[in-house]
Structure 1
């Protein structure tokens, strides 16, 4: 499955999106050895690449990336209640995560605090064959700073099939992504800018991803939910 980003105005997507390759962390105190990181420099998204990212008629809602903003009107009674009208009564609020300014990636492990780089979520505990059916993650940037969503262009099902001869009963993992890159395979990473009040709905169980505040002078806090949402439940920013 290709990375697919919903948009109406290609110029709006191009204005907030850049791309680069990846590298593997080694001997860097702030990162796990083997972590997959954006290599840099970042290059502007071209119209040709924007066309490749456009969803097709076969793109399932569960695999789609949407860049969204908070809806107009009165705010919800609490952050946890923001997803209540979005169409999944079983959606789960995961809480908040504060990210420092100028961080290439933002997700730490919880043993020693080192960052894990691009990774795959596993909240739904799905095997290789079902991985594309997982819940999508809704994230809203609470500010005060700008942040980015980082997305790899190759899904973990494809990666798992590449690095394992017997993928059928496996549970795809970030280690599969690391093996894939360490073996010499290529991955393009897209960086999507999110201002305060903006966010995304994305299949983070399926696509390599992380947050970033690289180059941003202010920290930001993100808040997260998981749910099975149809496309278009929040206004698009592109």
Structure 2
């Protein structure tokens, strides 16, 4: 895979501001937002609905900025942002099917563990985001899909192109930079969240570099996010909204 993005002055300014925010501001903003949700989750019935609404707004704003950077750069092709058909379509289909099978199998296992009050890996770090009502579940799926699309466009498509076209980095160094920025976004889940985001960020980046397209990483990201955000909430969480209603 090779890219040769040519950023204009305007697109460089927009991309620099966004990259700086993602690296320095987003980890703290995300931690503050999630902390506020966790404190209000049991006392405000619509706390999660408002939280999901804000997350959706932010993701589409970030995605719009990424598209603006592309449009402001006449010398940059959409393929430089991963917006192209994959080099190996067969690998993409196989990867999507494999990810779907893993998500279904692991999702069933996680649901079974949760129903038996057993420990579910990573559940505690996203407990406040787990839906309790049908409305929250619909929003959770919308957030999962938006997260998969937005995160790949911004963290993989934009940041790697930014690293190559603006910072003058080698493609693989720019990819490592994007993984670093994505990893710190998991700060709201604590140290383990940073490590988990680094691991999955490396996986998504590898899929992008291997196929030359965001299609496979987006699909895998969406599948895994839907699995995680539709896990059953612990009993202590599920009981609260029924009393509120």
Q: Same fold (TM over 0.5)?
A: no
Where is the helix percentage greater, Structure 1 or Structure 2? Answer: 2
Task: Mark the structure with the bigger radius of gyration.
Answer: 2
Where is the strand percentage greater, Structure 1 or Structure 2? Answer: 1
TM-score, length-scaled by structure 1:
0.26
TM-score, length-scaled by structure 2:
0.25
